[in-house]
Amino acid sequence: MDISEFLKSYPGVTVATDKDNQDILNFFGQTQIQGRGMSIVYDRTPDFFAFLKLHSPRMLVFIYRGKEGDIQGVATMLFRRGYVNGAEKEICYLGDLRMGFDRKGAVLWRQIYGEFFARKKEIDQLKDVDLFYTCLIDDNELSQRSLARNKKSGFAYHRVCPYSMVTLMLQKPFSSSRENTAALRVLRSPSQEQLQKFYYEHEKPVHAGYLFSTEISTRLKTWPDFAEENFLAVEKDGRLLASAALWSPRSCKKIILSQVPWHLSLFFSLARMFSFGRFRFQGELKVLYVTHLVFDPKLSSAERNEVFRALLKEAWQIRAEQGYHFLSFCDFKESSLLEATGSFIVNRVPMAIHEVTGAQDPVPSQQKEYGFEMALV
């Protein structure tokens, strides 16, 4: 059964097409993400679908139109190949779940999600999916209440991997003198051959992990403003120890702060003062992401932090050269890299990856390692 056939039982809910683009953009412009006194709007103009296509060519965008014909809800599903219990499988990321003020629509979404998992083997687009997952901000009370703690629907959210979005905001004065990374060499723009070899040899089949070794060539062709020059590698005595890419999806997804907490507002003022006016914030938060991060698994925890400290030092300089405000990365509780950020003033946003299942499905065990790309959600 095609998904469109399944949705016939739910009036007002359809699979979106390019014709719905402007209506979706209008709806997204009216909805915000709340957390820690901050309100965030993601500007996806001019093409809502462009950002999703970076993640995967296989996607579903659902919209709900209320009685007046205006959009009152949007949800997305992104499909890709990834690791599940060490084997390459089909996985689905559930993202962009936004609801308006239509109470009927909110009830409808919960019913649909419950039916998705109860009947997924009947639906052509879902029957081969082995893993559904998403991420939630710990302080987003609305999503926690309506999704993670909701016990009355046919689906269940399981907190399987806590992590933090760590943002480097300012380098501490005189901090570089305390760093012990002299034996490490950071390479800008390593060759694609070097990258693919390193990723092929060292990327581990973590749960929902990305297949970087086979995906890099595609991303270099399809991601805007993404090239070999975006990559950094750290080496010691001619041996590569880590690799990462610096990238931002700003060409198709901008972060707009509509409400700034007092401590960030104060920081912006101080940053502008101490940079003699060079730091300019006009609503859009320009963040450069550390993505595609992989370490040689033979490194100890202390060595990983030392290598990452050297990488961050170079990345921070590139951030300034390219006019970004901050530098961000995902820090997982079980393999934390926070020790490497000692020379920076940082901001942490606690989050967690959740596996999504049917209410009657077995509860998944908590994973110690999970594949996740913050730049793509």
Q: Does 356 reside within a domain?
A: no
Phi-psi region of 29 (alpha: psi -120 to 50; beta: other; left: phi over 0): alpha
Tell me: pLDDT of 141 over 80.
no
304-309 contacts, C-beta under 8 A, 24 or more apart: 304/242, 304/335, 304/337, 305/337, 305/339, 305/340, 306/180, 306/181, 306/184, 306/340, 307/184, 307/234, 307/241, 307/242, 308/242, 308/337, 308/340, 309/179, 309/181, 309/340, 309/341, 309/342, 309/343
Same domain? For 77 and 103 the reply is yes
- Say what the pLDDT of residue 176 is: 57
Q: How far apart are CA 78 and CA 87, in angstroms?
A: 19
Q: What percent of the chain has pLDDT over 70?
A: 88
What CATH number did the domain enclosing 102 receive?
3.40.630.30
| 212 C-beta neighbours (distance < 10 Å), count | 23
Which of 109, 134, 161 is at the close of a domain?
A: 161
User: How crowded is the C-beta side of 367, counted as CA atoms within 13 Å?
Assistant: 25
Structure tokens at 344: 């920076």
* pTM summary value: 0.89
| Mean pLDDT (the chain, rounded) | 87
Q: How far apart are CA 245 and CA 231, in angstroms?
A: 4
Q: What percent of the chain has pLDDT over 90?
A: 55
Q: Does 155 reside within a domain?
A: yes
Structure tokens at 58: 């296989």
Same domain? For 64 and 208 the reply is no
Same domain? For 219 and 270 the reply is yes
Q: How far apart are CA 61 and CA 25, in angstroms?
A: 13
Q: How far apart are CA 319 and CA 311, in angstroms?
A: 12
Tell me: pLDDT of 371 over 90.
no
Q: How far apart are CA 284 and CA 325, in angstroms?
A: 10
User: How many structural domains is the chain composed of?
Assistant: 2
Same domain? For 153 and 171 the reply is no
The answer to which of 59-73, 105-119, 210-224, 261-275 has the lowest mean pLDDT is: 261-275
Q: How far apart are CA 252 and CA 372, in angstroms?
A: 20
Same domain? For 205 and 339 the reply is yes
Location of structure tokens 């998705």: 116
Which pLDDT band holds residue 102 (cuts at 50, 70, 90)? confident
Who contacts 268 (Cβ-Cβ below 8 Å, separation ≥6)? 260, 279, 281
- Say what the pLDDT of residue 177 is: 44
Q: Residues 320-355: pLDDT tens digits?
A: 999 899 999 999 988 999 999 999 999 898 999 999
Same domain? For 100 and 187 the reply is no
Who contacts 154 (Cβ-Cβ below 8 Å, separation ≥6)? 110, 111, 113, 114, 115, 117, 118, 358, 359
- In terms of Cα–Cα distance, which of 76, 113, 110 is closest to 95? 76
Instruction: Note whether 81 and 88 are within 8 A (CB).
Output: yes
Which pLDDT band holds residue 270 (cuts at 50, 70, 90)? low
Q: Does 137 reside within a domain?
A: yes
Q: How far apart are CA 298 and CA 101, in angstroms?
A: 52
- Say what the pLDDT of residue 217 is: 87
Same domain? For 120 and 184 the reply is no
Q: Does 373 reside within a domain?
A: no
Q: Does 43 reside within a domain?
A: yes
Average pLDDT over residues 227-238: 94
Average pLDDT over residues 108-131: 92
Same domain? For 40 and 103 the reply is yes
Instruction: Note whether 358 and 110 are within 8 A (CB).
Output: no
Q: Does 294 reside within a domain?
A: yes
The answer to which of 3-12, 88-97, 364-373 has the lowest mean pLDDT is: 364-373
Q: What is the H or E stretch that residue 240 is in?
A: strand 239-247
Q: How far apart are CA 249 and CA 251, in angstroms?
A: 6
- Say what the pLDDT of residue 180 is: 58
Q: Does 372 reside within a domain?
A: no
Is the peptide bond prior to 46 cis by the omega test (within 30 degrees of 0)? yes
Same domain? For 301 and 248 the reply is yes
Which of 108, 143, 161 is at the close of a domain?
A: 161
- Say what the pLDDT of residue 119 is: 92
Which of 161, 182, 216 is at the close of a domain?
A: 161
Residue range(s) defining the domain that contains residue 327: 166-351
Same domain? For 193 and 103 the reply is no
Same domain? For 248 and 151 the reply is no
- What is the dihedral sign for C-alpha 180, 182, 185, 188? positive
Who contacts 213 (Cβ-Cβ below 8 Å, separation ≥6)? 196, 199, 200, 203
Same domain? For 53 and 190 the reply is no
Instruction: Note whether 274 and 171 are within 8 A (CB).
Output: no
Q: Does 280 reside within a domain?
A: yes
Tell me: pLDDT of 310 over 50.
yes
